């Protein structure tokens, strides 16, 4: 009869692949998989950025994580780079918040004015002469735009987003 | 004990099979609409080696998914607004796109279906992803579709652009 206090001898290869105790290894693997699925499915959602609208801040094909719980703890802030959902979360827009609820926003010759004051945007490196008529943001609405203002205005998706469509800010 | 486990497992498998069979042969309105949209996405996709005859057949198939009075009103960033009505015009637009592009894959993602209380009208919202074969970049179009149930099947009556980011 084998002594229950003695660990049976296992080969080095087996130890590397499944550990000394396979049941414990399997249990740990299941726990790890569950935690990873929850973490990367609901908390820190990985995304791949496609397109040029956020250059030079975020590059085409770069990878990031969306911090989902943050907007449960605080309201979106000006300057946050956020993921905006479409009809779901398979494809999202990556844009920066520049206008907050209750504000009036206008863009003249590429410069953004919030309630009549010019907005400082150090993240914008190239600026075309964009023109946007005054926009009054209601409660629960923010204004989002990309950082790449050197591209044609007509090819850039930007504007008013309702709060529930904001999935969360980028982690970095 | 083992016999009981087998009986429970058999009951679960049988229930799952019956459920699958019911959904396959008696699909709900929502399921019928989702299948229709899958067929539309597959039909509008353009193969890499698309031939003229294949295009004509695909256009003919495409017509059957829409009502005769189909209205299309889409706004593509950088290309402007496109509106047209009727199956014939839809077919012409499709064949023109097919002659100008090769290897275009169209997918409908995050489809939300709402069927009216009378079960004769429905609305579907989805995000279309359009990608050139082998290319990582893609185009995105959010769409709202209105559907009507005819004598035999659901058909799309109106297609319009919808936006999460509005100006």
Q: What is the pLDDT of residue A8?
A: 63
Contact A86 B142 (CB under 8 A): yes
Q: What is the pLDDT of residue A20?
A: 83
Average pLDDT value for residue range B91-107:
89
| Per-chain mean pLDDT for chain B | 91
Residue A40's pLDDT band, with cuts at 50, 70 and 90, is very high
Q: What is the pLDDT of residue A5?
A: 61
Instruction: Name the residue in chain B with its Cα closest to that of A156.
Output: B77
Strand A132-136 versus strand A92-99 pairing type? unpaired
Residues 82-121 of A with CB under 8 A from B: 84-91, 93, 95
Please determine, for residue B110, whether its predicted confidence score (pLDDT) is greater than 70: yes
Burial of A96 (0-12, 13-18, 19+ CB in 10 A): buried
Is residue A95 part of the annotated active site? The answer reads yes
Q: What is the pLDDT of residue A13?
A: 83
Q: What is the pLDDT of residue A7?
A: 60
Of the partner residues B111, B127, B166, the one whose CB lies closest to the CB of residue A160: B166
Please determine, for residue A52, whether its predicted confidence score (pLDDT) is greater than 80: yes
Q: What is the pLDDT of residue B132?
A: 87
Residue B55's pLDDT band, with cuts at 50, 70 and 90, is confident
| Per-chain mean pLDDT for chain A | 91
Query: What is the per-residue pLDDT across A73-82, written as a single tens digit (0 to 9) for each?
Result: 999 999 999 9
User: Among residues A50, A95, A109, A165, which one is catalytic?
Assistant: A95
Give me the percent of chain B exceeding a pLDDT of 90: 63
| Ramachandran class of A116: left when φ > 0, alpha when ψ lies in -120 to 50, beta otherwise | left
Average pLDDT value for residue range B126-141:
88
Query: ipTM for the complex?
Result: 0.81
DSSP string across chain B: -HHHHHHHHHHHHHHHHHHHHHHHHS--HHHHHHHHHHHHHHHHSB-TT--HHHHHHHHHHHHTTEEEEEEEEEEETTTEEEEEESHHHHHHHHHHHHHH-SSEEEEEEEEEEEE-TTSSEEEEEEEEEEEETT-S-EEEEEEEEEEEE-SSSEEEEEEEE--SSB-
Helix B87-100, helix B52-63: angle, nearest 10: 150
């Amino acid at each position: 009869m084998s002594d229950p206090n003695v660990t049976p001898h296992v080969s080095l290869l087996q130890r590397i692949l499944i550990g000394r105790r396979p049941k414990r290894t399997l249990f740990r693997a299941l726990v790890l998989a569950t935690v990873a699925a929850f973490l990367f499915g609901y908390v820190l959602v990985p995304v791949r950025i496609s397109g040029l609208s956020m250059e030079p801040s975020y590059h085409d094909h770069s990878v990031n994580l969306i911090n989902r719980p943050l907007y449960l703890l605080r309201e979106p802030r000006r300057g946050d780079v956020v993921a905006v959902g479409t009809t779901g979360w398979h494809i999202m827009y990556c844009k920066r918040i520049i206008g907050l609820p209750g504000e009036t926003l206008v863009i003249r010759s590429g410069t953004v004015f919030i309630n009549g004051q010019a907005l400082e945007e150090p993240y914008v490196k190239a600026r075309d002469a964009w023109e946007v008529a005054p926009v009054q943001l209601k409660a629960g609405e923010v204004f989002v735009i990309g950082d790449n203002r050197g591209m044609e205005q007509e090819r850039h998706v930007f504007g008013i987003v309702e709060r529930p469509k904001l999935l969360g800010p980028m982690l970095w | 004990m083992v016999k009981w486990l087998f009986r429970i497992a058999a009951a679960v498998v049988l229930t799952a099979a019956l459920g699958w069979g019911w959904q396959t042969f008696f699909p709900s309105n929502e399921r019928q609409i989702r299948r229709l949209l899958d067929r539309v996405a597959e039909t509008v996709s353009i193969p890499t080696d698309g031939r003229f005859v294949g295009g004509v057949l695909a256009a003919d198939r495409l017509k059957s998914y829409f009502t005769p009075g189909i209205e299309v009103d889409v706004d593509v960033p950088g290309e402007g607004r496109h509106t047209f009505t009727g199956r014939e015009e839809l077919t012409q637009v499709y064949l023109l796109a097919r002659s100008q592009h090769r290897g275009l894959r169209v997918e409908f993602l995050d489809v939300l279906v709402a069927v009216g209380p009378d079960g004769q009208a429905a609305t579907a919202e989805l995000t279309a992803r359009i990608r050139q074969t082998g290319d990582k970049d893609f185009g995105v179009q959010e769409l709202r579709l209105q559907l009507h149930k005819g004598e035999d099947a659901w058909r799309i009556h109106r297609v319009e652009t919808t936006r999460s980011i509005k100006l």
